[in-house]
Amino acid sequence: MSEPIDVAVFDIIETVFSLEPVRRAITTCGLDGRDLETWFAFGLRDAFALDVTHRAKPFPDILADALDELLAVRRVGANQAERDAVLGAFAQMPAQTGAGECFDMLRDSGIRIVALSNGPAERTRSLLESADLDTHVSDILSVEAVGRFKPHESVYRLAFEATGAAPAAHCMIACHAWDLNGAKRAGMQTAFVQRGQHYPSVMEPSDMAGDELVDVARLIVERQG
Amino acid sequence: MSEPIDVAVFDIIETVFSLEPVRRAITTCGLDGRDLETWFAFGLRDAFALDVTHRAKPFPDILADALDELLAVRRVGANQAERDAVLGAFAQMPAQTGAGECFDMLRDSGIRIVALSNGPAERTRSLLESADLDTHVSDILSVEAVGRFKPHESVYRLAFEATGAAPAAHCMIACHAWDLNGAKRAGMQTAFVQRGQHYPSVMEPSDMAGDELVDVARLIVERQG
Do residue A105 and residue A179 come from a single domain? yes
Do residue A207 and residue A137 come from a single domain? yes
Q: Which of B164, B154, B124 is nearest to B141 (CA)?
A: B124
Would A1 be classed as within a structural domain? no
Do residue B173 and residue B213 come from a single domain? yes
The domain that holds A31 is classified in CATH as 1.10.150.240
Task: Convert the pLDDT of each residue in B134-146 to its tens digit.
Answer: 999 999 999 999 9
ipTM of the complex: 0.97
Would B2 be classed as within a structural domain? no
Do residue A43 and residue A69 come from a single domain? yes
Task: Convert the pLDDT of each residue in A11-64 to its tens digit.
Answer: 999 999 999 999 999 999 999 999 999 999 999 999 999 999 999 899 999 999
Judge whether A168 and A187 are in contact, CB under 8 Å.
Answer: yes
Inter-chain CB proximity B198 and A51 less than 8 Å: no
Would A200 be classed as within a structural domain? yes
Residue A223 confidence class, pLDDT cut points 50, 70, 90: confident
Q: How far is B143 from chain A (nearest CA, A)?
A: 15
pLDDT for B2: 76
**Domain end point (choices B71, B92, B113):** B92
Do residue A42 and residue A63 come from a single domain? yes
Judge whether B99 and B133 are in contact, CB under 8 Å.
Answer: yes
Determine phi and psi for B205, rounding to 5 degrees. -65, 150
Mean local confidence (pLDDT), B139-163: 97
Do residue B72 and residue B102 come from a single domain? no
Would B102 be classed as within a structural domain? yes
Interface of A with B in 79-138 (CB under 8 A): none
CA gap A67, A43 in Å, rounded:
8
The domain that holds B201 is classified in CATH as 3.40.50.1000
Domain boundaries, position B28: 20-92
Residue A195 confidence class, pLDDT cut points 50, 70, 90: very high
Q: State the average pLDDT for chain A.
A: 96
Question: Which residues from chain A sit within 8 angstroms of residue B152, using beta carbons?
Answer: 52-53
Would B1 be classed as within a structural domain? no
pLDDT for A112: 98
Mean local confidence (pLDDT), A170-195: 98
Sort strands A170-174 and A7-10 into parallel, antiparallel or unpaired.
parallel
* Residue A1 pLDDT exceeds 70: no
Q: State the average pLDDT for chain B.
A: 96
Q: Is A41 on the interface with B (CB under 8 A)?
A: yes
Task: Convert the pLDDT of each residue in A69-110 to its tens digit.
Answer: 999 999 999 999 999 999 999 999 999 999 999 999 999 999
Do residue B149 and residue B203 come from a single domain? yes
Do residue A55 and residue A72 come from a single domain? yes
Do residue A155 and residue A205 come from a single domain? yes
CA B70 to chain centre: 21
Would B78 be classed as within a structural domain? yes
pLDDT for A225: 66
**Domain end point (choices A76, A92, A108):** A92
**Domain end point (choices B77, B92, B107):** B92
- How would you class B99 by CB atoms within 10 Å of its CB: exposed for 0-12, middle for 13-18, buried for 19 or more? buried
In chain B, the residue whose alpha carbon lies closest to the alpha carbon of A150 is B49
Do residue B35 and residue B125 come from a single domain? no
What whole-number percentage of chain B has pLDDT above 90? 97
Task: Convert the pLDDT of each residue in A129-149 to its tens digit.
Answer: 999 999 999 999 999 999 999
Total of domains in chain A: 2
Do residue B43 and residue B11 come from a single domain? no
Mean local confidence (pLDDT), A184-188: 98
Would B76 be classed as within a structural domain? yes
Q: Which of A85, A91, A173 is nearest to A124 (CA)?
A: A91
Would A2 be classed as within a structural domain? no
Q: Is B66 on the interface with A (CB under 8 A)?
A: yes
Q: How many beta carbons lie within 10 A of that of residue B151, not counting itself?
A: 32
Do residue A187 and residue A117 come from a single domain? yes
